[in-house]
């Protein structure tokens, strides 16, 4: 018997929901990072972005898709082991990269600083351990970030979109 | 503690029990009707004590026992109240509740004074309390307190002025007005009092004269007008403004309508105090002459001498309604964004030196914008300016000033780890002239939930994201021109590879509105509401766009186009094929109009190394990097094509925007 059904049997449906929700919130609330983090952070991202969450799976990974009311879509790619190895986004503006990149944000920030400006063009950060790409304009941005060394076996980077 | 004789207690208990039984069974059951309370002494100081007693009234065999409580300090079960430590006079309430009938209680209010001097109250009066503009009234304050308190007060007044000794000078008012004078204790600023005075107008208004900064303007331009009110005595200079045709603001800014013939418009100011006195000045509004829609464009290395494939133009920026203007060169012409962004002079290295009035957020704080670009952002206040493109002006347009000294620091949600481009060294231009498909830069995406685009910036506190109505957003200047306002035509000549040092072209305002911007044989390729159409490559459709602000054709990636490997190192944003590649793709509008495009791609590193003085590279291309892959045409697409960019919902000879046409 798993914990969920034990709780349902023991405490009744409504209370069990409350307990499960409480447990879930307690579990995820300290974390709001994503890339490289465990899948619980997807829930945190969803809550922080105030968005609706949709999950689709195939044999090699799960895509957790978050849609917000102002048209932002974020797709987080979760390995069978439960870690987030890629994030893709599109929407009218840029997403909160500090939230989505989590512990990789500082690496991104430093690489971003070293880019040459001008002229104006797409964003392309490519390091052996982190890739961040973005193009578009206000009203229509699209981009992605992934960990090249953390892709589950058989997964191509082109699938992160 | 006194020893208690157990035997006596047993006897007393027995007697009480019998009495209680008798009372319960008998006809004289106890009824509590009142509780009265008194404490001695009734005025004490911080930490002092006062003994309280209660008398329970009623009929029958009632008990005198009560339960004590107090809303401040503490009270024992025997009614001994201990005062709290106070810094100003307090009035704790002592409550005794009958233990026999909890519905019955009594209260007593005790006074607790601080041990040091304290203020208990302030009262204010002014004489006279009815006066005229500019007259004076002597106000005085009475401060009551305990101990050796300070009776000093500070004075303030809602309008007009007041001296330290309480002499109030009435404001000059055009109509009957109420003014409040307030005295606040210096020792205890929580103690204050106010009184209201009635002020009536005085003096006589005998004339109103009006002058306007610009006496001749064009359709849709504006002119700042000022009124001089003459009279005797303490008359009011307040006026109301009116003009027709056109509009006026409360501060006298006249905004002309679009006119088809030269029109003399009287701008009138009327005294509020005496509406029989008015003055006016005539502003002549001329229609925009044909041929005033030509903005020269140069493709060169830009102010940093490092730009490649950047199309630059000049605009004249003015403080709204005035002739205080500055012409800014090297604004990047961008058909992929909306809005004028001006880099400040000073540390940022830009040119804008005008003090443009900043716009306010709906909460009344200064309004700032974080304008995101794919590879960074620009940050700064939203301001109002008159923007003149060739001979046509967009008046009091919301623009963004970037890199302004002393501006609120960049919020973390804005920077997002990407690069702050609000400096010449990073931007490579003195600003951006966004003349793309849309009227506002952000549109409805910024109206629903706070996004990392618009920020309210309270003084001395961090900026926070806000929602902002489309009408308050930074605006594309083109739809606000008096004519030629349905879009633009960017015309750049063809360039033979590998390129050229510079290139000259033209940004024409309007589509099919004059002889110089006719559509000819061009076809329109409409876009979706985000400004994308489709580009078909090798049988697959990709989202696409045409943006003069992109310095290369940014298409797909090396996985999809293996003959185009990306360059290495600092040039990874470009393709470095082994030899010149010819690529074919097809643009497909949402209206299904399509046209095939074939273009060459050269090795970017070779181009740059072999031609270090060039700024024009027609065969420069790079990956779109993002997935899903995209096909964004940049400035090379414009070389040798007349490309029209039509504003959303605007009417053109090719139908309503948004679309690109060529």
Predicted local confidence at residue B208, as pLDDT: 96
Identify whether B65 is part of a domain: yes
> How many domains would you assign to chain B?
5
Interface probe with B: pick from A75, A105, A138, most Cβ of B within 10 Å: A138
Q: Which residues contact B50 (CB under 8 A, 6 or more apart)?
A: B39, B40, B41, B42, B44, B80, B81, B83, B110
Q: Which residues of B touch A126 (CB under 8 A)?
A: 572
Of the candidates B74, B81, B73, the one whose C-alpha atom is nearest the C-alpha of residue B54 is B81
Predicted local confidence at residue B9, as pLDDT: 52
Contact B617, B310 (CB under 8 A): no
Q: Which residues of A touch B630 (CB under 8 A)?
A: 135-136, 142
Closest approach of chain B CAs to the CA of A71, in angstroms? 7
Chain A and chain B share a number of CB contacts under 8 A equal to 173
The arithmetic mean of pLDDT across residues A17-38, rounded, is 43
Say if residue B658 is exposed, middle or buried (CB neighbours under 10 Å; 0-12, 13-18, 19+): buried
Predicted local confidence at residue A83, as pLDDT: 87
B306 & B418 share domain: yes
**Inter-chain CB proximity A120 and B559 less than 8 Å:** no
| CATH classification of the domain holding B134 | 2.60.40.1930
Query: Which one of A71, A97, A119 has the shortest CB-CB distance to B428?
Result: A119
Q: Could you tell me which chain A residue has the CA closest to the CA of B532? A: A140
Identify whether B29 is part of a domain: no
CA atoms within 13 A on the CB side of B158: 12
Identify whether B16 is part of a domain: no
The arithmetic mean of pLDDT across residues B113-138, rounded, is 91
Q: Which residues of B touch A143 (CB under 8 A)?
A: 374, 626
Contact A98, B418 (CB under 8 A): no
B90 & B236 share domain: no
Q: How confident is the model at residue B22 (pLDDT cuts 50, 70, 90)?
A: very low
Q: How confident is the model at residue A113 (pLDDT cuts 50, 70, 90)?
A: confident
Higher-confidence residue of A74 and B10: namely A74
CB-based contact, A86 to chain B, within 8 Å: no
pLDDT surpasses 60 at B409: yes
User: What is the average pLDDT value for chain B, to the nearest integer?
Assistant: 91
User: What is the average pLDDT value for chain A, to the nearest integer?
Assistant: 72
SS3 track for B478-539: HHHCCCCCCEEEEEECCCCCCCECCEEEEEEECCCCCHHHCCCCCCEEECCCCCCEEEEECC
The 3-state DSSP composition of chain A as helix, strand, coil percent (nearest 5) reads 35, 30, 35
| CATH classification of the domain holding B654 | 2.40.70
pLDDT surpasses 50 at B27: no
B321 & B244 share domain: no
The whole-angstrom separation of Cα B181 and Cα B196 is 6
Contact B436, B338 (CB under 8 A): yes
Residues 122-141 of A with CB under 8 A from B: 122-124, 126, 133-141
Predicted local confidence at residue A45, as pLDDT: 62
Give B452's DSSP letter.
S
Predicted local confidence at residue B28, as pLDDT: 60
Identify whether B319 is part of a domain: yes
pLDDT surpasses 50 at B25: no
**Inter-chain CB proximity B625 and A98 less than 8 Å:** no
What percent of chain B is modeled with pLDDT above 90?
78
Predicted local confidence at residue B227, as pLDDT: 95
Of the candidates B425, B340, B428, B341, the one whose C-alpha atom is nearest the C-alpha of residue B378 is B341
Of the candidates B476, B463, B195, the one whose C-alpha atom is nearest the C-alpha of residue B339 is B476
Identify whether B453 is part of a domain: yes
B544 & B642 share domain: yes
The whole-angstrom separation of Cα B633 and Cα B621 is 9
The arithmetic mean of pLDDT across residues B242-247, rounded, is 94
B517 & B473 share domain: no
Q: What is the pLDDT of residues B279-325, one digit of tens each?
A: 999 999 998 877 899 999 999 999 999 999 999 999 999 999 999 99
Q: What is the pLDDT of residues B617-649, one digit of tens each?
A: 999 999 987 667 889 999 999 999 999 999 999
The whole-angstrom separation of Cα B92 and Cα B218 is 73
Say if residue B418 is exposed, middle or buried (CB neighbours under 10 Å; 0-12, 13-18, 19+): buried
The whole-angstrom separation of Cα B452 and Cα B446 is 9
Predicted local confidence at residue B106, as pLDDT: 93
In Å, how far are B106, B191, B428, B594 from B184, measured between CA atoms? 36, 6, 56, 76
The arithmetic mean of pLDDT across residues B515-527, rounded, is 95
In Å, how far are A86, B139, B149, B505 from B182, measured between CA atoms? 63, 9, 20, 66
B84 & B186 share domain: no
Q: Beta strands of B403-474 (E only): which ranges?
A: 419-420, 431-435, 454-456, 464-465
Winning range, highest mean pLDDT, from A16-30, A81-95, A106-120, B254-268: B254-268
pLDDT surpasses 70 at B465: yes
B517 & B552 share domain: yes
Q: Which residues of A touch B375 (CB under 8 A)?
A: 115, 117, 120-123, 134
Peptide bond before residue A11 is cis, with ω within 30 degrees of 0: no
Q: Which residues of B touch A123 (CB under 8 A)?
A: 374-376, 418, 625
- ipTM, two decimals: 0.72
Q: What is the pLDDT of residues A129-147, one digit of tens each?
A: 999 988 888 888 889 999 9
The whole-angstrom separation of Cα B230 and Cα A127 is 73
The whole-angstrom separation of Cα A44 and Cα A84 is 13
CB-based contact, A94 to chain B, within 8 Å: yes
Looking at B183, B200, B217, which one is the last position of a domain? B200
Q: How confident is the model at residue B24 (pLDDT cuts 50, 70, 90)?
A: very low
DSSP helix/strand/coil, A129: coil
β-strand partners of A97: none
Q: Which residues of A touch B570 (CB under 8 A)?
A: 116
Predicted local confidence at residue B423, as pLDDT: 92
Predicted local confidence at residue B8, as pLDDT: 52
The arithmetic mean of pLDDT across residues B133-161, rounded, is 92
Looking at B286, B316, B351, which one is the last position of a domain? B286
**Inter-chain CB proximity A98 and B412 less than 8 Å:** yes
Q: Which residues contact B592 (CB under 8 A, 6 or more apart)?
A: none
Of the candidates B115, B71, B107, the one whose C-alpha atom is nearest the C-alpha of residue B92 is B71
Looking at B148, B173, B200, which one is the last position of a domain? B200
Predicted local confidence at residue A19, as pLDDT: 35
Of the candidates B357, B390, B396, B384, the one whose C-alpha atom is nearest the C-alpha of residue B220 is B396
B508 & B553 share domain: yes
Q: How confident is the model at residue A44 (pLDDT cuts 50, 70, 90)?
A: low
- Alpha helices by DSSP H, chain A: 3-11, 13-28, 40-48, 97-101, 105-113
Q: What is the pLDDT of residues B474-491, one digit of tens each?
A: 999 999 998 899 999 999
Predicted local confidence at residue A42, as pLDDT: 62
Identify whether B594 is part of a domain: yes
Predicted local confidence at residue B12, as pLDDT: 45
- Supply B406's token pair: 């002393």
Q: How confident is the model at residue B147 (pLDDT cuts 50, 70, 90)?
A: confident
Say if residue B53 is exposed, middle or buried (CB neighbours under 10 Å; 0-12, 13-18, 19+): middle
Specify the pairing of strand B642-646 against strand B487-491. Answer: antiparallel
Q: Could you tell me which chain B residue has the CA closest to the CA of A117? A: B426
B441 & B352 share domain: yes
Query: Which one of B376, B427, B628 has the shortest CB-CB distance to A142?
Result: B628
Q: Which residues of A touch B426 (CB under 8 A)?
A: 117-118
pLDDT surpasses 70 at B357: yes
What percent of chain B is modeled with pLDDT above 70?
95
The arithmetic mean of pLDDT across residues B528-532, rounded, is 91
Contact B188, B118 (CB under 8 A): yes
Identify whether B14 is part of a domain: no
Q: Which residues of B touch A98 (CB under 8 A)?
A: 412, 416-417
Predicted local confidence at residue A12, as pLDDT: 35
Length of chain B: 662
Q: Could you tell me which chain A residue has the CA closest to the CA of B620? A: A121
Q: Which residues of B88-99 are buried (b: 16+ CB within 10 A; e: fewer)?
A: bbbebebbbbbe
Peptide bond before residue B245 is cis, with ω within 30 degrees of 0: yes
B221 & B368 share domain: no
Query: Which one of B418, B425, B443 has the shortest CB-CB distance to A123?
Result: B418
Predicted local confidence at residue A117, as pLDDT: 62
Identify whether B23 is part of a domain: no
Q: Which residues of A touch B626 (CB under 8 A)?
A: 122, 133-136, 142-144
Predicted local confidence at residue A46, as pLDDT: 63
In terms of C-beta distances under 8 Å and separation of at least 24 residues, what long-range contacts does B120-125 make, across chains too? B120/B88, B120/B89, B120/B144, B120/B145, B120/B146, B120/B191, B121/B191, B121/B193, B122/B153, B122/B183, B122/B184, B122/B185, B122/B191, B122/B192, B122/B193, B123/B193, B124/B181, B124/B182, B124/B183, B124/B193, B124/B194, B124/B195, B125/B195
- Supply B480's token pair: 């606000």
Q: Could you tell me which chain B residue has the CA closest to the CA of A141? A: B374
Q: How confident is the model at residue B19 (pLDDT cuts 50, 70, 90)?
A: very low
B304 & B441 share domain: yes
At how many degrees (to 10) do helices A13-28 and A3-11 cross?
140
Query: Which one of B441, B530, B549 has the shortest CB-CB distance to A140?
Result: B530
* Structural domain boundaries, residue B164: 118-200
Q: What's the angle, vertex CA B336, arms to CA B652 and CA B469, rounded to 5?
A: 85
- Which phi and psi angles does B138 have, rounded to 5°? -90, 120
Residues 16-55 of A with CB under 8 A from B: 50
Q: Which residues of A touch B443 (CB under 8 A)?
A: 92, 139
CB-based contact, A103 to chain B, within 8 Å: no
Q: How confident is the model at residue B505 (pLDDT cuts 50, 70, 90)?
A: very high
């Amino acid at each position: 018997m798993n914990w969920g059904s034990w709780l349902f049997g023991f405490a009744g449906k409504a209370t069990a929901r409350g307990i499960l929700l409480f447990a879930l919130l307690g579990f995820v609330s300290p974390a709001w990072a994503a890339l490289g983090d465990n899948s619980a952070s997807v829930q945190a991202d969803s809550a922080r972005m105030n968005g609706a969450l949709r999950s689709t799976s195939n044999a090699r990974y799960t895509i957790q898709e978050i849609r917000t009311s102002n048209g932002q879509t974020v797709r987080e790619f979760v390995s069978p082991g439960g870690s987030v190895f890629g994030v893709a986004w599109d929407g009218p503006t840029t997403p909160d990269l500090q939230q989505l990149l989590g512990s990789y944000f500082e690496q991104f920030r430093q690489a971003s600083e070293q880019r040459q400006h001008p002229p104006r063009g797409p964003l392309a950060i490519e390091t052996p351990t982190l890739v961040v790409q973005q193009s578009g304009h206000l009203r229509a941005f699209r981009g992605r970030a992934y960990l090249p060394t953390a892709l589950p076996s058989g997964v191509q980077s082109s699938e992160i979109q | 503690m006194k020893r208690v004789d157990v035997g006596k207690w047993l006897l007393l208990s027995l007697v009480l029990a019998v009495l209680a039984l008798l009372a319960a069974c008998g006809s004289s059951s106890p009824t509590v009707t009142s509780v009265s309370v008194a404490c001695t002494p009734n005025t004490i100081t911080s930490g002092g004590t006062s003994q309280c007693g209660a008398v329970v009234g009623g009929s029958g065999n009632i008990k005198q026992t009560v339960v004590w409580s107090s809303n401040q300090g503490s009270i024992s079960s025997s009614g001994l109240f201990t005062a709290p430590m106070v810094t100003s006079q307090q009035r704790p309430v002592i409550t005794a509740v009958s233990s026999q009938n909890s519905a019955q209680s009594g209260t007593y209010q005790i006074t607790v004074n601080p041990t040091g001097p304290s203020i208990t109250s302030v009262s204010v009066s002014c004489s006279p309390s009815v006066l005229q503009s500019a007259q004076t009234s002597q106000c005085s304050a009475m401060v009551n307190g305990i101990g050796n308190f300070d009776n000093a007060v500070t004075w303030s007044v809602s309008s007009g002025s007041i001296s330290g000794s309480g002499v109030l000078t009435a404001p000059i008012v055009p109509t009957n007005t109420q003014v409040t004078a307030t005295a606040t204790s210096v020792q205890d600023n929580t103690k204050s009092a106010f009184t209201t005075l009635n002020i009536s107008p005085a003096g006589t208004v005998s004339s109103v004269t009006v002058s306007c900064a610009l006496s001749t303007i064009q359709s849709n331009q504006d002119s700042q007008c000022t009124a001089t009110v003459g009279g005797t005595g303490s008359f009011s200079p307040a006026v109301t403004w009116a003009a027709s045709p056109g509009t006026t603001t409360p501060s006298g800014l006249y905004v002309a309508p679009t006119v088809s013939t030269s029109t003399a418009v009287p701008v009138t100011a009327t005294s509020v105090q005496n509406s029989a006195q008015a003055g006016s000045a005539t502003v002549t509004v001329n229609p925009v002459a044909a041929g005033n829609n030509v903005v020269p464009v140069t493709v060169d290395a830009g102010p940093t001498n490092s730009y490649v494939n950047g199309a630059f133009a000049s605009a004249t920026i003015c403080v709204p309604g005035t002739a205080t203007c500055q012409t800014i060169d090297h604004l990047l012409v961008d058909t992929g964004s909306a809005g004028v962004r001006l880099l400040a002079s000073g540390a940022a290295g830009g040119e804008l030196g005008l003090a443009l009035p900043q716009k306010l957020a709906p909460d009344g704080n200064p309004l700032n914008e974080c304008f995101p670009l794919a590879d960074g952002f620009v940050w700064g206040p939203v301001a109002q300016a008159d923007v003149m493109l060739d001979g046509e002006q967009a008046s009091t347009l919301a623009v963004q000033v970037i890199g302004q000294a002393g501006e609120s620091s960049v919020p973390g949600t804005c920077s997002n780890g990407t690069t702050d481009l609000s400096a010449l060294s990073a931007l490579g231009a003195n600003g951006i002239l966004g003349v793309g498909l849309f009227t506002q830069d952000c549109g409805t995406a910024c109206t629903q939930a706070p996004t990392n685009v618009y920020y309210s910036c309270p003084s001395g506190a961090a900026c926070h994201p806000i929602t902002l109505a489309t009408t308050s957003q930074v605006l594309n200047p083109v739809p606000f021109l008096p004519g030629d306002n349905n879009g633009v035509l960017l015309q750049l000549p063809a360039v033979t590879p590998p390129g050229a040092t510079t290139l000259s072209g033209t940004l024409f305002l309007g589509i099919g509105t004059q002889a110089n911007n006719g559509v000819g044989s061009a076809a329109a390729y409409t876009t979706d509401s985000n400004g994308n159409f489709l580009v078909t490559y090798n049988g697959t459709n990709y989202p696409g766009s045409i943006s003069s602000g992109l310095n290369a054709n940014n298409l797909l990636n090396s996985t999809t186009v293996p003959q185009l490997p990306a360059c290495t190192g600092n040039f990874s944003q470009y393709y470095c094929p082994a030899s010149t590649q010819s690529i074919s793709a097809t643009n497909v509008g949402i209206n299904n109009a399509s046209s095939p495009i074939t273009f060459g791609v050269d090795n970017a590193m070779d181009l740059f190394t072999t031609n270090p003085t060039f700024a024009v590279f027609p065969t420069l291309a790079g990956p779109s990097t993002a997935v899903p892959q995209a096909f964004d045409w940049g400035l090379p697409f414009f070389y040798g094509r007349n490309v029209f960019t039509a504003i959303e919902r605007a009417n053109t000879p090719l139908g309503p925007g948004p679309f690109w046409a060529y």
